[in-house]
C-alpha cells in the first residue's frame, strides 16, 4: 500500500503538518515512515521503522525538519523487505548536483529488467525497493531539466505508481497513465498539498480540490500549481479495492464518498443474497459500513457482535496451532449476548486465504450462534495483485481454487454469498471501465511479465555491496 503526502507552505510548520497527515494515512503502511523537508534549498530527510508517532519526536520535527516544503511517506512493503531502514522512503538522489527525494505508492511490473539494466550500467543499488529504480533512472538523465528527466524515466517504467518528489524549490506529484493508486490535490488557504487520501487534507485544516488524473504531473511552488499531462494515452483504472477495503471511509475518491459506497455495497449484497436471520453483524472495521447497509436493505437488526482490539499490531504468528487459533480472539472478541441462540449474518469486506473467515465462523459458533451466514461485500478474489497490494499468490487465494459452495463448507458457514462484480460497480456509482478489477476478473490493465507472475517480489534482498 503506502501513503504519500506533500505540501508547500513557507509560512507554516510543514514538518508538523506532514506528521499529522501521515498520522491520518497510517492505515496504508505501518512498517516505517519518513519526511523530507527543503529548507531554503537544503534537503533533510528523517525516516525510521515504526508507527508515525514512534518515528517522529518533537525534537526531530522542530529541530531537524525545519523547512518551507515537505513530502512524507508511510511504508507497507510489496517489493523489498519491510524491516530494513534502507528501504524506507523518501529516498535521496541528485540530478546534475541538484538533490531530490522521491516517495512511491505502487509496484513496478518491469522492475527486474530495469534493475538488471541499471546494474549493468554500473549503478549500485542501496535498497531492495523498486522506488530506487525510479530515482536512479531520473538521476541518470543528466542535462535534462527535472521535469524532462521524470518524463524520460516514465517512458521506461511500467506498472502502478503514484509518486511525490521534493526538490530544493518545489513538490511534484504524478500518477501512472492508468491511475491505479490514488493521489489527490488539496488546498489550505493559499497553500497546495498532495495526498493519497483526502482525510490527510482534513486533518491539517485543508480541503480536497480534485483527484490527480492518470498520466498527470503537478508541480507545486510557493506561487501556485502547474499541471502537465506527460502521457497522451491514459485510462482511468483505479484499484477498486480502495473502495472495498483500503481507503479510509471518511474520504472521497473520484467524487464518491468511500463510506457511502461501502454501505451501498452492503445494501446490494442483501438484495443479491437474502437470508432469514435474527441479527446482522460486521467484521470491524472495514466490514461495518457494508453490514449497516445489509441490515438496512434486509430489515434485519444490526448489532455490534464483534469487538476489535485496537492495540493488536501484526498478525499473531505462532507455530503451535492451539496458540495460533487464539490469535483471532486477541483481535476480535464476540459479544455473547448478541450472538447466542441467534441466526447471525456476518458481513466482511473480502476473503483472501479464508483462514481468518474460518476462525470468525468458528468463534461465532463457539459463542452459541444457531446459524452463521457469511456475506462478503466484494466478489471472490481469483487472481493476485501485481500493482502494490499484497493479496497473496494464486495458490493461496481460496477464491481461485474453490467454488463459493466449497468455500462455505471450508469456512463451516451455513451459507455464503459474495457481491457480484456488477453489483459492486453499481454500488460505487462509477462505470466499470473506471477500475482495475484484475484480482476479481483476471483482466490486468497493465501487462504483467511472466517472471513477475511466477515470483511477485523479485527484489527481495538488498543488493550486495560494491566490490572495490
Contact 49, 145 (CB under 8 A): no
Diameter over CA atoms, the chain: 73
Identity of the residue, 412 or 449, whose beta carbon is nearer to ligand SF4 in the bound complex = 449
Please select the residue that binds ligand SF4; options are 391, 423, 456, 458, rule is CB under 6 A: 391
- For residue 444, the minimal CB distance to ligand SF4 (Å) is 7
Residue span binding ligand SF4 (CB under 6 A) among the ranges 48-56, 205-213, 326-334, 385-393: 385-393
Identity of the residue, 56 or 241, whose beta carbon is nearer to ligand SF4 in the bound complex = 241
Q: Report d(CA 464, CA 214) in Å as an integer.
A: 36
Please select the residue that binds ligand SF4; options are 172, 220, 376, 389, rule is CB under 6 A: 389
The two beta strands, 343-348 and 332-334, are unpaired
Identity of the residue, 339 or 448, whose beta carbon is nearer to ligand SF4 in the bound complex = 448
- 180 is a site residue for ligand SF4 (CB under 6 A): yes
Contact 175, 213 (CB under 8 A): yes
> For 357, phi and psi rounded to 5 degrees?
-60, -40
Q: What is the distance, to the nearest Å, from the Cα of residue 341 to the centroid of all Cα atoms in its chain?
A: 38
Identity of the residue, 19 or 386, whose beta carbon is nearer to ligand SF4 in the bound complex = 386
- For residue 312, the minimal CB distance to ligand SF4 (Å) is 24
State the Cα torsion 347-348-353-356 to the nearest 10°.
-80
Cα angle, residue 337 at apex, residues 331 and 341 outer, rounded to 5°: 105
Please select the residue that binds ligand SF4; options are 300, 437, 452, 459, rule is CB under 6 A: 437
Q: Report d(CA 437, CA 415) in Å as an integer.
A: 25
Residue with cell 472495498: 244
- Following DSSP, what letter does each residue of 291-302 receive, concatenated? HHHHHHHH-PPB
- For residue 9, the minimal CB distance to ligand SF4 (Å) is 32
- For residue 258, the minimal CB distance to ligand SF4 (Å) is 14
Identity of the residue, 130 or 202, whose beta carbon is nearer to ligand SF4 in the bound complex = 130
Record the cell numbers describing residue 7, joined without a space.
Answer: 505540501
For residue 60, what is the DSSP state?
Answer: I
Residue span binding ligand SF4 (CB under 6 A) among the ranges 146-154, 228-236, 359-367, 430-438: 430-438
Q: Report d(CA 76, CA 113) in Å as an integer.
A: 23
Identity of the residue, 239 or 413, whose beta carbon is nearer to ligand SF4 in the bound complex = 239
H helix runs in 48-145, sequence order: 52-55, 58-59, 111-120, 131-140
- For residue 235, the minimal CB distance to ligand SF4 (Å) is 13
Record the cell numbers describing residue 290, joined without a space.
Answer: 457494508
Q: Report d(CA 10, CA 171) in Å as an integer.
A: 12
Burial letters 354-376, b for 16+ CB under 10 A, else e: bbbbbbbbbbbbebebebbbbbb
- 419 is a site residue for ligand SF4 (CB under 6 A): no
Q: Report d(CA 200, CA 209) in Å as an integer.
A: 13
- For residue 238, the minimal CB distance to ligand SF4 (Å) is 8
Total number of residues that touch ligand SF4 (CB under 6 A): 12
Identity of the residue, 180 or 459, whose beta carbon is nearer to ligand SF4 in the bound complex = 180
Q: Hey, which residues between 208 and 267 contact ligand SF4 (CB under 6 A)?
A: 239-241
Q: Is the dihedral of CA 269, 271, 272, 274 positive or negative?
A: positive
Identity of the residue, 212 or 436, whose beta carbon is nearer to ligand SF4 in the bound complex = 436
- For residue 381, the minimal CB distance to ligand SF4 (Å) is 8
Of 2, 239, 385, 439, which one is the catalytic site residue?
2
- 338 is a site residue for ligand SF4 (CB under 6 A): no
Residue span binding ligand SF4 (CB under 6 A) among the ranges 253-261, 322-330, 415-423, 433-441: 433-441
> What does the per-residue mask of binding to ligand SF4 show for 121-160, with x meaning CB under 6 A?
----------------------------------------
Please select the residue that binds ligand SF4; options are 247, 332, 436, 448, rule is CB under 6 A: 436
Asked about 2 being catalytic, the answer comes back as yes
Q: Report d(CA 341, CA 364) in Å as an integer.
A: 10
Burial of 318 (0-12, 13-18, 19+ CB in 10 A): exposed
> For 246, phi and psi rounded to 5 degrees?
-75, -50
Identity of the residue, 180 or 218, whose beta carbon is nearer to ligand SF4 in the bound complex = 180
> What does the per-residue mask of binding to ligand SF4 show for 1-30, with x meaning CB under 6 A?
------------------------------
Q: Report d(CA 463, CA 128) in Å as an integer.
A: 7
Q: Report d(CA 4, CA 195) in Å as an integer.
A: 5
Residue span binding ligand SF4 (CB under 6 A) among the ranges 1-9, 13-21, 36-44, 434-442: 434-442
Please select the residue that binds ligand SF4; options are 46, 178, 201, 387, rule is CB under 6 A: 387
Catalytic residues: 2
Applying CB under 6 A, the residues found at the interface with ligand SF4 are 180, 239-241, 385, 387, 389, 391, 436-439
Amino acid at each position: 500500500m503506502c501513503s504519500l503526502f506533500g505540501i508547500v507552505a513557507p509560512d507554516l510548520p510543514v514538518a508538523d503538518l506532514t506528521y499529522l497527515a501521515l498520522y491520518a494515512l497510517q492505515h496504508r503502511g505501518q512498517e516505517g515512515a519518513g519526511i523530507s523537508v527543503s529548507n531554503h534549498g537544503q534537503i533533510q530527510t528523517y525516516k525510521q521503522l515504526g508507527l508515525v508517532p514512534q518515528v517522529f519526536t518533537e525534537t526531530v520535527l522542530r529541530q531537524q525538519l525545519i523547512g518551507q516544503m515537505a513530502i512524507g511517506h508511510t511504508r507497507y512493503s510489496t517489493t523489498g523487505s519491510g524491516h530494513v531502514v534502507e528501504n524506507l522512503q523518501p529516498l535521496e538522489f541528485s540530478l546534475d548536483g541538484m538533490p531530490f527525494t522521491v516517495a512511491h505508492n505502487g509496484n513496478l511490473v518491469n522492475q527486474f529488467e530495469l534493475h538488471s539494466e541499471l546494474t549493468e550500467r554500473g549503478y549500485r543499488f542501496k535498497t531492495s525497493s523498486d522506488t530506487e529504480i525510479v530515482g536512479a533512472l531520473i538521476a541518470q538523465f543528466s542535462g535534462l531539466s527535472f521535469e524532462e528527466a521524470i518524463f524520460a524515466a516514465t517512458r521506461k517504467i511500467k506498472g502502478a505508481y503514484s509518486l511525490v518528489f521534493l526538490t530544493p524549490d518545489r513538490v511534484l506529484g504524478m500518477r501512472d497513465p492508468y491511475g491505479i493508486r490514488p493521489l489527490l490535490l488539496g488546498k489550505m488557504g493559499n497553500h497546495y498539498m498532495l495526498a493519497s487520501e483526502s482525510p490527510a487534507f482534513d486533518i491539517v485544516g485543508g480541503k480536497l480540490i480534485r483527484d490527480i488524473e492518470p498520466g498527470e504531473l503537478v508541480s507545486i511552488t510557493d506561487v501556485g500549481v502547474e499541471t502537465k499531462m506527460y502521457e497522451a494515452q491514459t485510462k482511468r483504472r483505479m484499484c477498486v479495492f480502495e473502495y472495498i477495503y483500503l481507503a479510509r471511509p471518511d474520504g472521497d475518491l473520484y467524487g464518491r464518498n468511500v463510506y457511502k459506497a461501502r454501505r451501498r455495497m452492503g445494501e446490494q449484497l442483501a438484495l443479491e443474497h437474502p437470508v432469514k436471520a435474527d441479527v446482522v453483524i460486521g467484521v470491524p472495521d472495514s466490514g461495518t459500513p457494508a453490514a449497516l447497509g445489509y441490515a438496512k436493505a434486509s430489515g434485519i437488526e444490526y448489532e455490534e457482535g464483534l469487538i476489535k482490539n485496537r492495540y493488536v499490531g501484526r498478525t499473531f504468528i505462532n507455530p503451535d496451532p492451539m496458540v495460533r487459533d487464539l490469535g483471532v480472539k486477541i483481535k476480535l472478541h464476540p459479544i455473547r449476548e448478541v450472538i447466542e441462540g441467534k441466526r447471525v449474518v456476518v458481513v466482511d469486506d473480502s476473503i483472501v486465504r479464508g483462514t481468518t473467515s474460518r476462525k470468525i465462523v468458528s468463534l461465532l459458533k463457539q459463542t452459541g450462534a444457531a446459524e452463521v451466514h457469511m456475506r462478503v461485500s466484494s466478489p471472490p478474489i481469483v487472481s493476485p495483485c501485481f500493482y502494490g497490494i499484497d493479496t497473496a499468490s494464486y495458490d493461496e487465494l481460496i477464491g481461485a481454487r474453490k467454488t463459493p459452495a466449497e468455500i462455505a463448507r471450508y469456512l463451516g458457514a451455513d451459507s455464503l454469498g459474495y457481491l457480484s462484480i456488477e453489483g459492486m460497480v453499481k454500488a460505487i456509482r462509477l462505470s466499470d471501465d473506471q477500475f482495475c478489477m484484475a484480482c476479481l476478473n483476471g483482466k490486468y490493465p497493465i501487462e504483467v511479465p511472466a517472471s513477475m507472475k511466477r515470483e511477485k517480489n523479485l527484489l527481495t534482498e538488498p543488493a550486495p555491496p560494491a566490490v572495490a
